[in-house]
Copies of this chain bind each other. A is one copy, B any other.
Amino acid sequence: MSVIGKSEIRKDVRLKVTGKAVYIDDLSFPEMLWVKVVRSPLPHGLIKRFNPSSALAVQGIVSVLTYKDIPGTNVVPIVLMDQPLLAEKVVRYIGEPIALIAGEDRQAIEEGAREIDIEFEKLPPILDPLMAMKEDSPKIYGKDNIFSHHRIRRGNIRQGFEECDLVVENRYTTSYQEHAYIETQGVIAVPYEGRMKIYGSLQCPFYVQHAVSSVLGLPYSQIEVIQTTTGGAFGGKEDVPSLVASQAALVAFHTKRPAKLIYTREEDVESMSKRHPAVIDYKSGVTKEGYLKAVQVKYVLNAGAYSTLSPIVLWRGTVHAVGPYKCPNVKVDSYAVATNTVPCGAFRGFGMPQITFAIESQMDELANRLHIDPIEFRLRNILRKGDRTVTGHLIKESMELEKTLKKASQIGWKREREISNGYKKRGMGIACNYYGVGLGAGGRHLAKAGAWVSVLSDGSVNFAVGTTEMGQGMETVLSQILANELGVKYERVSMVPTATTQVPDSGPTVASRATVMSGNALIKAARPIKKSIMEVASKMLKSPISKVKLADGYATSGTKRIGLDEVIDKCFQQRKIMSSQGWYKAPYTSWNKATGQGKPYFVYSTGTNLAEVEVNTLTGEVTVKRIIAVHDVGKVINPQTAAGQVEGGVLQGIGYALFEDMAPAGGKILNTNFSTYILPTAKDAPEIVSNFIEDPYPQGPFGAKGLGEQPIIGVAPAVINAIFDATGVRIRDLPATPEKIIAELNSHHPTFIPLGRR
């Protein structure tokens, strides 16, 4: 394990800090056209007239394309096949694509877009999901505007509540959250010798391959998708690049020229997916000893005009709807609802930050009302090995939530709480969470990954995987896993950009699955090569294979050692297998759709966030002073990148808790740039103490689970609970803006004294 657990320097760091990384907008091709999307200005309407002739008359405009020009199917294939690439007769949200303008330069397409002549007939929009769910509402999807409905039924919910000593019931709401990737959506489609090559900033090349294939009506083999260095994604480049790529590809297909489509920040914010706003009705009941007896949840996501990934986002939220706690009686109903708003989709946490905000607010309130320390209260309820989740999954391995809770409390809970300056109140809050690693039973057929490893005759190593680097550090972590497995030096290993012609369909890069899935696939790919090296090293060292060890660039046996470069050269002389492919299938999962019972994920990461805040009771402003984030993610492959993931997640969680908000007026998002969409900056960053509990997951690569999504999930509730602790004000509508806090402080007399001040 000489390379595992070491903070090796990120593989992508030099390129990125020296500006040599090639992002999609840095790339161009000769004869390349620029593409602009003509979008709907209405949340709901009929297209009555579309006349491109004035646009086509603009100098430099080459082509204007509508749905009529689609040679394949006018659908962006995701889950429900309801979303057209280009609107046909009806538009369903502001920003919906209607036509594509292609021209010689940016100026031409901007001018062309202004000249497009479209006439609409307005239709009444439905903007609120609860209104959309009403029986008498106008229908924009199916018979009930419901894209998806999931449920959990466990025990007897009525009886469960009857046995409770305390029942708390509240409505929680959350706002949109923008991914705020630094690099906006962008793709270049290049027709090349009969194939369509797609270069782009994206998470899931195989999704894009399928989408472009479907839209162009070409076989998968003729669509090659190559990921370019991707400047952030956070789920925002999971499903939507299928749309962007298909738009560019359609232009390239018709014009036979490369086509570049880079979204402006404004159109990206206006039209691309975001974290779903949620309405959560949460009812929890406990015994007076502090044991959860019953939980009933109604979880509604505003999915927007098309379903995209909403059914899956909703499913994950549903599975985790009770949090990492035991509870005998559970009833969960969840709904993804169609409205005439921008389609929401994947976002780090994937349906869990919303529900976890509700879960942990409830837990905090229950503890407070019962006068039980919130850590003690959680310790009475949390899942441990040998327990069953509310979906009936018996936890057998790698579940160390208790240790994260104890570690977090040990680091920070006992700290002297300063309540200084009179009007500046300090408080602490805590939140636990768990996270099913990988796609789970909801995406079982995608729970697979391929990898390719090629050791070259000079001892350098190339590998390729089907998952993508988007800033999260996958390339680094996988390089460490491979270097450790082969015994070569970390510096000798490099990753070839992810492309559909390098590896088989490995599913998407989401759900914290890359380390486990691609890591295991890489180890399997390395196996025959390792065998070659071991056989040759054994002969060179005159030692039985069983005694040969490969590490740090050497083959050793006892005191004898030999450089691996020499061994590898010999392997090549002997024509040994030095290149191979690996294939990994995730362990078994299951799900009963009617009861919500089963083993939805093969393993869970867990974590505890502890927040310390200072609330200015005169202005309502909240300053997060410290976040202690302790995560159980199995073996940590690279402590520095792991800490980086946590730090980024914490800040993103603080943004979700306090700042990030959108106020669509009549379905129109008004703050479409970062001057008005308020993100946390370095100045808002608290002291972040990250810590890891390393209980190895036996089926993970060297014991690793997944980490990517974990860090954001529990931050907002910890902060909200800390605000309550500081002020007695409980915010149930994210984000907790100064306005809301001041309003609460002025109107509200807290019934229960926060524990921190008892």
Q: Which residues of A are interface residues toward B (Cβ below 8 A)?
A: 14-15, 20-22, 28-30, 192-194, 210, 213, 219-222, 224, 229, 445, 447-448, 450, 452, 454, 456-462, 464, 492, 494, 496, 501-505, 572-575, 577-581, 583, 585
Contact B578 A460 (CB under 8 A): no
Contact B457 A505 (CB under 8 A): yes
Provide the residues of chain B in CB contact with A492, threshold 8 Å.
219, 221
| CA–CA, A445 and B575, complex, Å | 6
Closest to A577 in B: B583
| CA–CA, A534 and B382, complex, Å | 47
Provide the residues of chain B in CB contact with A224, threshold 8 Å.
496
Contact B504 A502 (CB under 8 A): no
Say how far A494's CB is from chain B's closest CB, in angstroms. 5
Contact B221 A494 (CB under 8 A): yes
| CA–CA, A347 and B464, complex, Å | 36
| CA–CA, A580 and B458, complex, Å | 24
Contact A220 B583 (CB under 8 A): no
The answer, among B15, B210, B456, B501, for a CB contact under 8 Å with A221, is: B456
Contact B578 A464 (CB under 8 A): no
The answer, among B22, B221, B459, B575, for a CB contact under 8 Å with A447, is: B575
Contact A20 B193 (CB under 8 A): yes
Provide the residues of chain B in CB contact with A30, threshold 8 Å.
28-30
Provide the residues of chain B in CB contact with A572, threshold 8 Å.
445, 505
Integer count of this chain's copies in the complex: 2
Evaluate whether A585 and B581 lie within 8 angstroms (CB atoms) in the complex, with A221-B462, A494-B221 already known: no
- Most B-side CB within 10 Å, residue of A229, A494, A575: A575
Closest to A447 in B: B575
Contact B460 A221 (CB under 8 A): yes
| CA–CA, A575 and B446, complex, Å | 8
Say how far A261's CB is from chain B's closest CB, in angstroms. 17
Provide the residues of chain B in CB contact with A456, threshold 8 Å.
219-221, 505
Contact A219 B504 (CB under 8 A): no
Would you mind naming 14 contact pairs between A and B with Cβ atoms under 8 Å apart? A21-B193, A28-B30, A193-B229, A210-B457, A219-B459, A220-B456, A222-B494, A224-B496, A445-B572, A445-B575, A462-B501, A496-B501, A503-B579, A579-B581
Closest to A505 in B: B457
Provide the residues of chain B in CB contact with A210, threshold 8 Å.
457
| CA–CA, A492 and B28, complex, Å | 31
- Most B-side CB within 10 Å, residue of A222, A447, A492, A505: A505
Provide the residues of chain B in CB contact with A219, threshold 8 Å.
456, 458-460, 492
Provide the residues of chain B in CB contact with A579, threshold 8 Å.
450, 503-504, 581, 583
| CA–CA, A229 and B194, complex, Å | 13
The answer, among B29, B460, B578, for a CB contact under 8 Å with A504, is: B578
Contact B504 A20 (CB under 8 A): no
Provide the residues of chain B in CB contact with A501, threshold 8 Å.
454, 462, 464, 496, 502
| CA–CA, A193 and B503, complex, Å | 21
| CA–CA, A550 and B399, complex, Å | 47
Contact A573 B445 (CB under 8 A): yes
Contact B502 A502 (CB under 8 A): yes
Provide the residues of chain B in CB contact with A581, threshold 8 Å.
452, 579-581
Provide the residues of chain B in CB contact with A460, threshold 8 Å.
219-222
Say how far A184's CB is from chain B's closest CB, in angstroms. 20
Closest to A214 in B: B458
| CA–CA, A580 and B461, complex, Å | 19
Evaluate whether A193 and B22 lie within 8 angstroms (CB atoms) in the complex, with A575-B445, A575-B448 already known: yes
Say how far A159's CB is from chain B's closest CB, in angstroms. 40
- Most B-side CB within 10 Å, residue of A15, A22, A448, A573: A448
Closest to A22 in B: B193
Say how far A696's CB is from chain B's closest CB, in angstroms. 25
| CA–CA, A501 and B452, complex, Å | 10
| CA–CA, A340 and B628, complex, Å | 76
| CA–CA, A585 and B224, complex, Å | 30
Contact B15 A193 (CB under 8 A): yes
Evaluate whether A575 and B580 lie within 8 angstroms (CB atoms) in the complex, with A30-B28, A221-B461 already known: no
Closest to A507 in B: B575
| CA–CA, A193 and B462, complex, Å | 15
Say how far A129's CB is from chain B's closest CB, in angstroms. 33
Closest to A461 in B: B221
- Most B-side CB within 10 Å, residue of A210, A452, A464, A504: A504
- Most B-side CB within 10 Å, residue of A192, A577, A581, A583: A581
Provide the residues of chain B in CB contact with A573, threshold 8 Å.
445
Provide the residues of chain B in CB contact with A194, threshold 8 Å.
14-15, 20
Contact B192 A22 (CB under 8 A): yes
